[in-house]
């Protein structure tokens, strides 16, 4: 989660999700907490089966894929994560406390991601879609490139 200071970002995200669930009356089940922890501790976005594999490694028992998909749907519906379509993976949302569409920066070398919030870009896309008569329900821009660490090493 993020290119720099991942551990602090992951812990902060977990705390924000817990607070948001408490304030909205949403149940944070044991399974949701496990998935949340795995996502927050990962340096790169994870697919559902990578989450399942990590749960199996930690717990030593099989996990049913539908339960993980339902958990990811819960996080998506509440804006806690973004789905990265190009990777079929999920990443914690760094700005879930307010409405935004999101721009994900995806490192092609190390696989990490970061999120930037650009309200002006959101408005431009909404206006362009409206001019075309299109009603957008969701937008996510994925920008491929190199993170700061990989760019320095190149």
**How many CB atoms are closer than 10 A to CB 48?**
17
Lowest mean pLDDT of 62-71, 101-110, 144-153, name the range. Answer: 101-110
Check if the beta carbon of residue 68 is closer than 8 Å to that of residue 123. no
Domains along the sequence of the chain with CATH: 6-153 (1.10.10.10)
Residues 6+ positions from 10 with CB-CB distance below 8 Å: 1, 40, 41, 92
Supply the pTM of this predicted model: 0.86
Convert the pLDDT of each residue in 99-129 to its tens digit: 677 789 999 999 999 988 888 888 898 899 9
Neighbours of 117 (CB within 10 A): 14
Task: Write down the number of H helices and E strands in the chain.
Answer: 6, 5
Residue 7, pLDDT score:
46
Among 3-7, 35-39, 59-63, the minimum mean pLDDT is found in 3-7
């Amino acid at each position: 989660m993020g290119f720099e200071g991942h551990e602090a970002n992951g812990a902060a995200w977990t705390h924000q999700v817990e607070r948001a669930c408490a304030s909205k009356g949403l149940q944070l089940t044991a399974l949701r907490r496990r998935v949340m922890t795995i996502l927050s501790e990962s340096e790169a976005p994870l697919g559902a089966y990578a989450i399942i594999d990590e749960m199996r490694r930690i717990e030593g028992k099989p996990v049913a894929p539908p339960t993980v998909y339902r958990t990811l749907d819960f996080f998506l519906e509440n804006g806690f994560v973004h789905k990265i379509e190009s990777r079929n993976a999920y990443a914690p949302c760094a700005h879930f406390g307010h409405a935004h569409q999101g721009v994900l920066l995806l490192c092609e070398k190390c696989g990490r991601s970061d999120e930037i919030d650009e309200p002006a870009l959101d408005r431009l896309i909404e206006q362009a879609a409206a001019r075309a008569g299109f009603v957008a329900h969701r937008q996510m821009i994925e920008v491929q490139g190199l993170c700061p660490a990989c760019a320095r090493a190149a």
